[in-house]
Each structure stands twice: as structure tokens, then as C-alpha cells.
Amino acid sequence: MSERVAVTPEAAELLRDLWDANGPLMFHQSGGCCDGSSPMCFPDGEFLTSDADVHLGELEIGAGDSDDRQVPVWMSAEQYAYWRHTHLTIDVVNGRGAGFSSRHRPGADS
């Protein structure tokens, strides 16, 4: 089976910082529009998963030493039915958090 999820080094660094401040983390991708169109990060267990969700895999965020931290990534089964052939890469960009999948462009007025 091929990997369904990955994390960029920049996102892994941010996730390590979030883990240090909040404890273990998880992602959930619900689908739909607005905020549901992006994977959302929660403290692990804060978003309750069930048989209506598919476990896509684990993000290896490590810490540069012997710490082997992993962040599970879940997707709603309904969304997975559409995206079952998709590979997700968790990344970060500069800018403010917002709905819809917009990207901040350096030099653009916000």
C-alpha cells in the first residue's frame, strides 16, 4: 500500500511546536466547503472519530532526537469515497487562517 499522507519539513516543525504546547495532535478532513475543505488539526481525541471515518495514516513529525512523534490523519468515509486515490501533503503557508482554500501571496494586500 502506498502512503496516503505526508508532511513537509516546515509543517512538521510547526506541529512539533503545537505538540509541545498542547500535547498529542490529530488531523481530520471532513470535506465540503469553507473550513471543511482543509485538514483541521486538533488535540488528539478532541475530534471523535467513528466508523464514519477512515484512518489515512500517520504523519512522522519526530523531534530530531529519539522522539518518534506521530500525528494520525483521518478523513470522513463519505469524503474518502471521492478522494480514495488522493495523496495529501500537510504544509503551511504564511498568512492568516481563513475559509476556502486561499494561499497568501507575498506582496499581496491582505
Residue 17 is predicted with a pLDDT of 94
Q: Answer whether 99's CB lies under 8 Å from 35's CB.
A: yes
Write the pLDDT tens digit of every residue in 20-39.
999 999 999 887 666 556 78
Is the model's pLDDT at 83 over the cut of 70? yes
Do the beta carbons of residue 30 and residue 77 sit within 8 Å?
no
Sequence letter at residue 54: V
Closest CA to 88 of 51, 66, 57, 61: 57
Q: What is the pLDDT of residues 37-78, one digit of tens each?
A: 678 999 999 999 999 999 999 999 987 565 789 999 999 999
Confidence category of residue 101, pLDDT binned at 50, 70, 90: very low
Of the candidate ranges 6-10, 26-30, 101-105, the one whose mean pLDDT is the lowest: 101-105
Pick the residue with more confidence: 101 or 92?
92
Backbone angles phi, psi at 9, to 5 degrees: -55, -40
Its pTM surpasses 0.85: no
